Structure 1
Amino acid sequence: MIKNEAAYQKALEKLKQDREFIVNEEKRFNDMGLNSEQIEMAIQPLISFHEQLKEEVKYYERIKRGSFNPIHKFTDIGKSLIAYRIYKGMSQAQLAEILNVSESQVSRDERHEYYGATTEKIEKVMKAMDMKTVISIEISAGTGA
């Protein structure tokens, strides 16, 4: 997951390099006499990694615009906290300062997407970023006593 502007810029450059590399590899394999099916099989892993990075770039651009995915599971909260920090233009260092913790602690928490964090920690992070919690619980039809 892209978590800052520097990583975003690196990802954009990597996408450009990957496109050029894939084109060159296709040409190289073609020059070697491989048929189109063999070329496709040979470059498929490159294309797969390229597409994954493209999705990460699109996600980063979307959250920078303030477009967030709804949270359907508690385990998704961490990714949303990171997304909101990015949207606010807040660095990990700035968040750490507000929380009165080290930047490396924020980095660790984000690397693990706040997995295993206490509700108290989640609430502190949310408060530090002026986030508001709204919880909606839905009961599935056909369940219950």
Structure 2
Amino acid sequence: MIKTESAYREAIEKLKQDQEFIKRQKEMFEDMGLTPENIELALQPYISFHEQLKEEVDYYERIKRGEFEPIFNLKTIGKTLIAYRIYKGMSQQQLAEKLGVSASQVSRDEKNEYYGATIERIQEVIDALGMVSITKVDPQNIVSA
């Protein structure tokens, strides 16, 4: 997951480099006389990594525009907290200052997507970001044992 503007810029540059690399590799394989099927097989790992990075860039651009998915499972709350920080244009350092912790602590929390964080810590981050969280229990989706 792209978490900073500099990482976003690096990803954009990497996408450009990857496109050029894939193009050159394809030309080289064609010159070697490989069949289109063999060329596709040979390029598939590069294309897969390229597409994965493209998805990360697309996600970062969506969250910068404020396009968030609903949270259906609290296990994904960490990713949403990171996305909202990015949307607010707040650096990890700025969040750390609001929380009264070190920037390295915020970096560690985000690296782990807040996995294992207490409810109190999650609420502190929500408050520091100026978020509003709404929890809904849907009795239609409750599975009986």
Q: What band does the TM-score fall into relative to the shorter chain? A: over 0.9
1:70-89 alignment, distance < 5 Å: 70-89=70-89
1:51-66 alignment, distance < 5 Å: 51-66=51-66
Q: Which residue type is aligned with residue 122 of structure 1?
A: I
Where structure 1 has 5 or more consecutive residues not aligned to the other structure, the ranges are none
Q: Aligned to 1:140, what secondary structure does the other structure show?
A: helix
Residue 130 of structure 1 is matched in structure 2 by: 130
Where structure 2 has 5 or more consecutive residues not aligned to the other structure, the ranges are none
Aligned residues: 145
Percent sequence identity over aligned pairs? 62
Q: Distance in 2 between matches of 1:76 and 1:108?
A: 16
* TM-score (structure 1 length as normaliser): 0.96
Residue 100 of structure 1 is matched in structure 2 by: 100
Residue 41 of structure 1 is matched in structure 2 by: 41
Q: Distance in 2 between matches of 1:114 and 1:142?
A: 26
Q: Following TM superposition, by how much is the alpha carbon of 1:140 offset from its aligned partner in structure 2, in angstroms? A: 2.9
Q: Which residue type is aligned with residue 140 of structure 1?
A: Q
Q: Distance in 2 between matches of 1:143 and 1:86?
A: 35
Q: Aligned Cα RMSD in Å?
A: 1.3
Q: Which residue type is aligned with residue 93 of structure 1?
A: Q
Q: Distance in 1 between matches of 2:10 and 2:62?
A: 17
- Which stretch of the first structure deviates more once superposed, 98-107 or 132-141? 132-141
Q: Distance in 2 between matches of 1:8 and 1:39?
A: 30
* TM-score (structure 2 length as normaliser): 0.96
Q: Distance in 2 between matches of 1:114 and 1:31?
A: 49
Q: Distance in 1 between matches of 2:18 and 2:64?
A: 24
Q: Distance in 2 between matches of 1:141 and 1:45?
A: 39
